[in-house]
Amino acid sequence: MSAVTYVEAIVVGALQGVSELFPVSSLGHSILLPAWLGGQWQQDLSIGKGSPYLAVLVAMHVATALALVLFFRKDWIRIIGGLWTSIRDREIRTPDQRLAWLLVLATIPVGLAGLLFEGLLRDFLGKPVPAAIFLALNGGVLYAAEKFSRAKPKPAEEADTVDFSTEETLVMRAVSVEEATDVRLAKLRVGEAVLIGAAQILALLPGISRSGITMVAGLRRGLGHEDAARFAFLLATPVILAAGVLKMPSLFAPENHASLGPALVGSVIAGVASYISVRFLTGYFETRTLTPFAIYCVVAGIGSLIFFAV
């Protein structure tokens, strides 16, 4: 197989860093871009078992996860601390403790599905036409979610199923916006959090966005755009990091040695692009919606389908 070049790694790294967190599907774009460019790019950037390109993408996923950890570092310190104290004291009393367990439980379904089906789905559906179809469907789902999310929200007494202490409520006025958001997320029911996390399973299909489908699930469970985006990014971090670390040894296989340099450069680009993307999106979803991304996915998906099917 051909090695990935530095130019290819830089372009793909920037694409990976943006499309992994924007609700437009990084896997779908990783398949469609080489197919659109054709020639040597299509030969070098082919997804398949033992492909150098696939190994390089794994490294870029790890870089994306590390960028998320860096951006949410204060939050992860609180959440991991909450998990530790919860295990130590054998209780779930604070928002940080409850949010930590919600993230753990919500990650289990996609973790199991990824181990069982990720390779199978990639091999069968990792082609331009299926990716284009799923990308268009992704756009349709995002648009439908926006249309129906404008329905009357759940009453406060139904949504706030967890009653934290009065002291915690009083402290709320002094904490950061991020901590206030996490208190709201911690009030999700366990079943709701698991359903939102399980939505990530659909992202195993090339063209379906992990962040997008998770946000859709969050909106359907009554979360606002800002809270849904934050929960989606927190959920994505351990999944992307664990999957990348698990597959990282493949990058160091003898047949991939020529791609190690490009993989490193592309990963740095992916990490920087991911950090900028999450910084932008956390602000964007404070006041805006998924609609522009929905339109893009539908147009890009249908356009790609016509191009590859004709």
pLDDT tens-digit readout, 255-310:
888 899 999 999 999 999 999 999 999 999 999 999 999 999 999 999 999 999 87
Q: What digits encode the pLDDT tens for the residues 121-167?
A: 888 888 999 999 999 999 999 999 998 875 444 443 444 456 555 44
Cβ-in-10-Å burial (0-12, 13-18, 19+) of 49 comes to: exposed
SS3 per-residue string spanning 158-174: HHCCCCCCHHHHHHHHH
Q: What digits encode the pLDDT tens for the residues 176-205?
A: 777 888 899 999 999 999 999 999 999 999
Place of tokens 């029911």: 189
The pTM of this model reads 0.90
pLDDT of residue 165: 52
Q: What digits encode the pLDDT tens for the residues 38-93?
A: 998 988 888 876 688 988 999 999 999 999 999 999 999 999 999 999 999 999 99
Cα–Cα distance measured from residue 270 to residue 18, given in angstroms and rounded to the nearest whole number:
8
CA 106 from chain center: how many Å? Answer: 13
Q: What digits encode the pLDDT tens for the residues 263-275?
A: 999 999 999 999 9
Phi-psi domain of 49 (left: phi exceeds 0; alpha: psi -120 through 50; beta: other): beta
pLDDT of residue 156: 39
Cα–Cα distance measured from residue 170 to residue 138, given in angstroms and rounded to the nearest whole number:
41
